[in-house]
Each structure stands twice: as C-alpha cells, then as structure tokens.
Amino acid sequence: MRYVMFVCDNDSVGVPMEDADPAAWVREMDGRGVRLQGARLRPGSDATTVRVRGDEVLLSDGPFAETKEQIGGFDLIECDNLDEAIEIASKHPSARFGWVEVRPLWEE
C-alpha cells in the first residue's frame, strides 16, 4: 500500500539542526526501497492559499490554518501495511519534535 507522510514541525521550538536532520532516515528508507518520493517544503510564510468562491479567486498570504504547527515536508512511501508505515514514520526525526501524519492514498 502507498501512504503519504505529512511531516509536521512546530516552528516555535528550536531544535538542534543535527537532531532534526532527516538525511539518515532518507538513506535508510531509500535503501529499504519503501520511500518512493519526498521533499522538504519552504516555510508557511512562503505559502499562498487559494480559494474560489463564485467567480472570484481569493488569495491569502500564508497557510489557511492559523497554527504554529506546519507541514514541513512530505514523503510518499510504499509498504505492506499500516504497522510498517507506522514503524517508518516513527523513525523520522520530526516525529520526536513534531509529529507525522500517515495517510493512505486513495487506491482502488
């Protein structure tokens, strides 16, 4: 099954760079062949939110949800089941400081 991991951080918490570095995790999961794709995202301050209401395109600065916690990146993984997905997610350094949401892809 394929899952997307939303890797979430809390902006206000200062975490030492080396502890938050997911490079080792990426190497391990690429090596296991379970990580198909992934990327780090620019911070929420660089985001633009788009809504269309009627004929009007409404833009606003920043992420739609006004929270301090933001999606810092995502990974697309492929593994046997939720237990394996949880094991993979729990090894991501951000799980220790923020959290990781694991969401299955809509597949028929």
Partner 1 sequence: MTAEVEAAVAEAFHQEWGRVVATLIRVTGDWDLAEECAQEAFTLALERWPRDGLPGRPGAWLTTTARNRAVDRLRRRSTEAAKLREVAATAAVEASEDDAFGAGDSGVQDDRLRLIFTCCHPALPLEARVALTLRTLTGMTTAEIARAFLVTEATMAKRLVRAKGKISNAGIPYRVPPAHLLPERTGSVLAVLYLLFNEGYSASTGSDLVRWDLCAEAIRLARLLARLMPDEPEAYGLLALMLLHHSRRATRVDAAGGLVTLERQDRTRWNRGEIDEGVAVLEAALRHDRAGPYQLQAAIAACHATAADAADTDWTRIAELYRQLVRVVPSPIVRLNQAVAVAMADGPAAGLELVETLHASGALTGYHLLPATRADLLRRLGRRAEAARAYREALDLAPTEAERRYLADRLAETVPGGGD
* Chain positions contacting partner 1, by CB under 8 A: 1, 3, 80-83, 85-86, 104
Shortest distance, position 77 Cβ to partner 1, whole Å: 12
DSSP secondary-structure letter at 11? T
Q: Which is nearer to partner 1, 15 or 102 (CB)?
A: 102
Distance of closest approach, residue 64 Cβ to partner 1, in angstroms: 25
The minimum distance between CB 88 and partner 1, in angstroms, equals: 13
Residue 30 carries which DSSP code?
Answer: H
Contact between 100 and 89 under an 8 Å Cβ cutoff? The reply is: yes
Please report how close the Cβ of residue 78 comes to partner 1 at its closest, in angstroms: 11
State which residue, 19 or 83, has the beta carbon closest to partner 1.
83
Q: Please say which residue, 55 or 83, places its beta carbon nearer to partner 1.
A: 83
Please, are residues 89 and 102 in contact by the beta-carbon 8 Å criterion? yes
Pairing of strands 69-78, 48-53: unpaired
Cα-atom radius of gyration of the chain, to the nearest Å? 16
Place of tokens 């892809």: 105
